[in-house]
């Protein structure tokens, strides 16, 4: 039996459908019709969402929430933001004896995000924040005609969700790792770390937005407190906009032939010693090794001493668990740049002789005992360089390669034989796609927490963990609600 048409939106839809059927062909404006269809579908959707929200409410005088009793029921009109627009309904609220904090059973049953947003609406906003500016996202959603919210809402809600995530980060990350299986056929994981510059408000840079001598904390801090320590931009002692070094980390899985199968991405805003990212990389690697202790591990980075200190510490902690091959490799492309500089210091800038010499060294360094042979060749040519500037360039290149070789990070011949990666292209690309593409736009500046919110959701999106992240975040907004006995 067909259900009767009951709501205004359903009646409007039926009337619109009949009107479209009666229009002459020459009066059909497809773009206008599509917009009208979307508006009416949104009205239908909003009506259904209102019914769903009302079903989750309760009229009981008392309820139990996670085993605790709540009473003093009151009913208020409240607005919820859905994919189809704002929906207003009456809802019940409860308090414990002695009043105080208010609980809303409807919100807790359905996992309403930050008191007003449906889980899907919140998901759309975090995805938007991950891929585009707040203004671009608001304009795009308005053009699409669904999930329409203001740019201030797109800015605020993902940051609040990111603050909630930071409070529970280690627990959520552990749950996400369990949902992200090691790819079939993976025999090697490259653990790599790199720095990336991030534009921030410096301590003397004027904050954007409304000017006041006593600004209130942002809403996410009012609810969750300060969830991140102040970054270097808070007291960098420089004028104007500041750039500080954040960090990206990757765990790239490869098969026996050296083909990349999957990559996990991590990113953090600037902080001393890249401590949080280092800890996250270690937890990711330890989870992999506990499941597959025979996994080969390649630690990789450029020549930055601080980054190698972090990777070396991770390697020490992983050693008792790892039964596969472990290797430390400095990025071969950074080495190639130093070889090119050295060759030009000897043979001249952009000369054919310099290109031939650099190419010869690049091939030699990948052979057995190749780094030692290249160093001997470079040192033998040092006396022939009479220019003080070029001599310093050659000495710098020799020092870099000698230091990396002495540290055992240039075993390229063995790595190639084992089909291990000898470059950090995946990590270099992560710095560009994860941070550069999204965050280094003209005029962009990021607060410590605002930037981290973007990094968190963007890294999850690029690494295939966006669904799992939202499942875990959504669960934190839900609680069991029952009628009190």
Each of the 485 residues of the chain gets a pLDDT tens digit; together they read 455 556 787 888 888 888 888 988 988 899 999 999 999 999 999 999 999 999 999 999 999 999 899 999 999 999 999 999 999 999 999 998 766 899 999 999 999 999 999 999 999 999 999 999 999 999 999 999 999 999 999 999 999 999 999 999 999 999 999 999 999 999 999 999 999 999 987 655 555 555 566 667 888 888 898 888 888 877 776 655 678 999 999 999 999 999 999 999 999 999 999 999 999 999 999 999 999 999 999 999 999 999 999 999 999 999 999 999 999 999 999 999 999 999 999 999 999 999 999 999 999 999 999 999 999 999 999 999 999 999 999 999 999 999 999 999 999 999 999 999 999 999 999 999 999 999 999 888 999 999 999 999 999 999 999 999 999 999 999 999 998 86
| Pairing status of strand 296-301 against strand 326-330 | parallel
* pLDDT of amino acid 9: 79
Residue-level pLDDT at 469? 98
Q: What is the pLDDT of residue 238?
A: 61
**For residues 345 and 343, what is the distance between their CA atoms, to the nearest angstrom?**
5
SS (H, E, C) 163-210: HHHHHCHHHHHHHHHHCCCCCCCCCEEEEEEEEEEEEECCCCCCCCCC
* pTM (predicted TM-score): 0.92
Q: Using alpha carbons, list the distances in angstroms from residue 386 to 38, 343, 358.
A: 75, 14, 20
pLDDT number for residue 382: 95
> Quick one: pLDDT at residue 443?
84
pLDDT score recorded for residue 1: 43
89: tokens are 């309904």
Q: How many residues does the chain have?
A: 485
CB of 138 closer than 8 Å to CB of 149: yes
Q: Which two tokens stand for residue 446?
A: 């990021």
Is 168 within 8 Å of 161 (Cβ atoms)?
no
If you search the block for the tokens 């709501």, which residue do you land on? 7
pLDDT of residue 223: 87
Residue 234: predicted pLDDT? 75
- Per-residue model confidence (pLDDT) at position 7: 77
pLDDT in the model for residue 8: 81
């Amino acid at each position: 039996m067909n259900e009767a048409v009951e709501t205004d939106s359903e009646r409007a839809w039926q009337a619109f459908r009949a009107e479209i059927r009666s229009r002459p062909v020459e009066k059909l404006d497809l773009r206008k019709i599509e917009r009208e269809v979307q508006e009416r579908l949104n009205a239908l959707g909003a009506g259904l969402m209102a019914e769903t929200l009302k079903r989750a409410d309760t009229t009981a005088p008392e309820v139990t929430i996670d085993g605790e009793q709540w009473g003093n029921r009151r009913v208020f009109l409240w607005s919820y933001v859905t994919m189809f627009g704002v929906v207003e309904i009456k809802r019940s609220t409860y308090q414990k004896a002695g009043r105080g904090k208010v609980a809303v059973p409807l919100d807790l049953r359905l996992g309403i995000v930050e008191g007003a947003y449906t889980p899907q609406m919140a998901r759309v906003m975090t995805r938007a924040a991950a891929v585009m500016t707040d203004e671009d996202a608001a304009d795009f959603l308005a053009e699409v005609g669904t999930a329409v919210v203001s740019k201030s809402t797109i800015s605020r809600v993902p940051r609040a969700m990111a603050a909630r995530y930071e409070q529970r980060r280690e627990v959520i990350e552990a749950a996400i790792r369990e949902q992200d299986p090691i790819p079939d056929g993976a025999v090697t994981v490259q653990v790599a770390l790199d720095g990336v510059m991030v534009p921030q408000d410096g301590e003397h840079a004027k904050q954007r937005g409304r000017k006041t001598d006593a600004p209130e904390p942002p809403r996410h801090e009012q609810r969750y407190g300060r969830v991140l320590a102040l970054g270097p931009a808070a007291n960098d002692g420089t004028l104007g906009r500041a750039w500080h070094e954040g960090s990206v980390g990757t765990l790239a899985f490869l098969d026996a032939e050296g083909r990349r199968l999957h990559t996990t991405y991590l990113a953090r805003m600037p902080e001393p010693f890249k401590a949080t990212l280092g800890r996250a990389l270690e937890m990711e690697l330890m989870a992999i090794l506990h499941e597959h202790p025979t996994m080969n591990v390649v630690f990789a980075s450029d020549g930055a001493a601080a980054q190698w200190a972090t990777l070396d510490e991770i390697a020490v902690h992983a050693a008792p668990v790892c039964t596969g091959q472990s290797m430390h490799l400095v990025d071969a492309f950074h080495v190639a740049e130093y070889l090119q500089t050295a060759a030009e210091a000897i043979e001249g800038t952009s000369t054919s002789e310099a290109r031939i010499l650099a190419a010869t060294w690049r091939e030699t360094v990948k052979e057995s005992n190749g780094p030692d042979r290249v160093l001997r060749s470079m040192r033998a040519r040092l006396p022939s360089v009479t220019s003080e500037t070029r001599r310093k360039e050659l000495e710098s290149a020799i020092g870099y390669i000698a230091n990396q070789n002495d540290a055992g990070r240039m075993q390229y011949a063995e790595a190639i034989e084992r089909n291990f990666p000898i470059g950090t292209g995946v990590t270099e690309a992560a710095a560009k796609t994860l941070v550069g593409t999204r965050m280094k736009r003209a005029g962009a500046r990021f607060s410590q927490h605002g930037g981290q919110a973007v990094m968190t959701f963007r890294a999850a999106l690029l690494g295939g963990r966006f669904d799992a992240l939202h499942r875990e975040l959504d669960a934190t907004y839900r609680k069991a609600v029952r009628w009190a006995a």
